[in-house]
Structure 1
């Protein structure tokens, strides 16, 4: 069964003024759609892989035939990352975390403010295109990591709890080269309910 592009869980303009409607429309309808289309095209020659979830594909890249492995890595990763990204934002988002994730962040990073500084710093220092993540690692600890291009944390055994897209297409129309401004503004739309749900599912 072909992979599909789910609709955004909110209107294109719902995250204004922090993320503009034009960026959301292009990001979802063009960039994310291209990852889905390219992934489906790559899997056409391998019917046995078509029933696997996108998470299965990126978690087990060594099992992907060599002729399509890079294409699957890039496009399944892009599909997985973006599907999660839309869910991690909400028009009712922002503020400070609550529940178990709040306590875990405080225990790991000292405070939510310290966590934000470290997360933003990692995002600013990521060279070129990529993502910055809060993950739950195999040692059952929280960790901030970055990935290049569309690589998924799942590929290296890390479970993503929160992630921000720092490809230029995610912010350039509004913020131009001011990645730091985008990173700061993005906290106003973080869906902490979803982050908490993900954390509770693995902790």
Structure 2
């Protein structure tokens, strides 16, 4: 049993060693918001934005750094069992950091309206119209059981698709789709303002959608 474990660790060692080294070298930090906490009112309140950013996102960052430190130690000790045991925490907190870092950028106090350019043309091609895409993304996001994210994703074959992810699962590693626009439907994202009426929050968030940034993300994905 120990012999087979050593073989598996030897096969994994180049990957996990580089991951552990990266965790030891780098510390993730909470990104600054590109606007003030009250800038998205009345769609998202000042209080929600402060708690969401300073408390929830900061917790994902702190836990991600702590998990990577433990991972580096496990790699250094050739402890394969611990390396495997740390993967759920790495995925959850790493996903939380990735998802929220995208979320802040794709919202704007000057947002709303309709996409333009290549983004709009691709939306029309794959959904028929912008309104159809909004409706499909709204229904998918509202329909998530428990906590998660609704995403407009871009695939390697050049198509757009509405995809949902549970909890903090990051879209691209989980589904292969590049995240363009996402809606956080964890209760901490809306409950203080919208209570249990998730549909109102999801519909309102399109009023602050930063379609210019989403268009930039599409260009980068291509």
TM-score, normalised to structure 2's length?
Answer: 0.82
Query: Post-superposition, which runs of at least 4 consecutive aligned residues in structure 1 deviate over 4 A?
Result: none
Of the three residues 161, 172, 176, the one matched with 1:143 is: 161
Distance in 2 separating the partners of 1:159 and 1:106:
18
- What residue is the counterpart of 2:217 in the other structure? 198
Whether the 8 Å CA contact 2:149–2:185 is kept in 1: the answer is yes
- What residue is the counterpart of 1:179 in the other structure? 198
The yes-or-no answer on 1:121 pairing with 2:139 is yes
- What residue is the counterpart of 2:59 in the other structure? 34
Structure 2, unaligned runs of 5 or more: 1-25, 75-81
Structure 1 residues 162 and 48, CA, compared in 2 at 3 Å: closer, same or farther? farther
What whole-Å deviation, never above 9, does each CA across 1:33-87 have from its counterpart, x for those lacking one?
00000000011133499xxxxxxxxxxxxxx931210000000000000000000
Q: Which of the pair is proportionally richer in helix?
A: 2
Of the three residues 10, 15, 22, the one matched with 2:47 is: 22
SS of the aligned residue for 2:52 comes to helix
SS of the aligned residue for 1:46 comes to helix
Whose radius of gyration is greater, 1 or 2?
2
Of the three residues 121, 133, 151, the one matched with 1:133 is: 151
Structure 1, unaligned runs of 5 or more: 50-63
TM-score, normalised to structure 1's length?
Answer: 0.90
